[in-house]
Homo-oligomer: A and B are copies of this chain.
Amino acid sequence: MAEIARLAGVDTSTVSRALAGSPRVTKETRALIDKIVHETGYVVNETARHLRGGRANQILVIVSDIAAPFYSDVVQGIVETLAERGINVLLGVTLRQAKREAQLAKQLLTGVVDGIITVTGSIPKPVLSMPGFERKVLAISRAVPHEGVTCVTIDNCAATRQVMQHLHQRGHRRIVYIGGPNYSETYRDRRGAYADFMRENGLAELARMRATDSFNDDADSGFHIMKSILNEGDRPTAVFCATDELAIGAMAAARQADQIIPRDISFFGFDDLKLTPLMSPPLSTVSVPRFEMGRRGAEALFRQVYKDAPSSSKVVLDHRLILRDSVATIV
């Protein structure tokens, strides 16, 4: 910028103002500066701007694993939305290790980012000691156990209830639940709503809930759980999987055991991943607005961090049941 100022025969402050579009520079000066900037290919140093301005214009997104389709869709929504607003997205993956999460937290403390969107259901510890962190952090999909932090999610209990009602109406009673690890609020909600429904409908004794090992909730774990269920005898007529990934694995296990879906066993998923209509058979599932969750979360955090908007407690988006061909009617 000093170079530009020299060439234009003005001070750097004038160049700065000209570039910022301040009304305090003449058209002529502005034109001259613009011309020189164009000729020399000069671009401002964002780092210096950040240092002076105190804003990094960057937001950190924390997921446990970007390779999981659910998260990558959410992140896509976030990145698109923030890019439109000139905000960069830093991507952090925790691999479900608290240590990594703590490392990532430093990015906020050291001023590398202005805010954090977490899709893991937890806030890195070091962040909690920051005064006013509530406005700088936002949770998507999984709520975090902290007052004042905005959370964008869906109504997991209501959705689960609707799924169960559907299965029940179709004549299913012997319904198994396959879910992910219960440290996740999402899975706790879905499992809880399942259990409640079974109890309320006098099916408490038929309720069977299975969760994946420790940290796994991918298709493979669904496959293995389903395999063990099939080996136990006393087969269910329907399986409610807490995610489509689990359902894809579970259906594969059923097919491998020569079960015809849905004739022998029905399946219901959750998420409506892009691939599920192409499964064999197309999977009935709950549509979860993943991109939209990302978009809304990004918008909300943007307003909180850069526009001084207050944080709200919860933003609940709509879900809806997608009925395809994986559920049979029992007569």
Contact = CB atoms under 8 A, between A and B. Distances in A.
Contact of A90 (B90, B110, B277): B90
A278 interface: yes
A213 B26 CA distance: 51
Contacts of A83: 92-93, 100, 103
Interface in A87-101: 88-93, 95, 100
A83 B95 CA distance: 12
A263 to B, nearest CB: 15
Nearest to A250: B278
A36 interface: no
Interface stretch (A15-23, A70-78, A173-181): A70-78
Given A252-B278, A280-B255, A75 B91 contact: yes
Interface residues of A, number: 56
Interface string A53-74: 0001010010001111100110
A248 B278 CA distance: 7
A249 interface: yes
A129 interface: yes
Contacts of A277: 252
A275 B275 contact: yes
A105 to B, nearest CB: 10
A328 interface: no
Contacts of A129: 41
B69 A75 contact: no
Which 7 pairs between the two chains have the least Cβ-Cβ distance? A252-B278, A280-B280, A72-B72, A46-B110, A67-B76, A91-B91, A43-B109
18 contacts: A41-B129, A43-B106, A43-B109, A45-B110, A45-B111, A46-B111, A47-B51, A47-B56, A65-B76, A66-B66, A67-B69, A67-B274, A68-B72, A80-B95, A89-B91, A219-B274, A219-B275, A223-B278
Interface of A: 41, 43-48, 50-51, 56, 58, 61, 65-69, 72-73, 75-76, 79-80, 83, 88-93, 95, 100, 103, 106-107, 109-112, 129, 218-220, 223, 248-249, 251-252, 255, 274-275, 277-280, 291
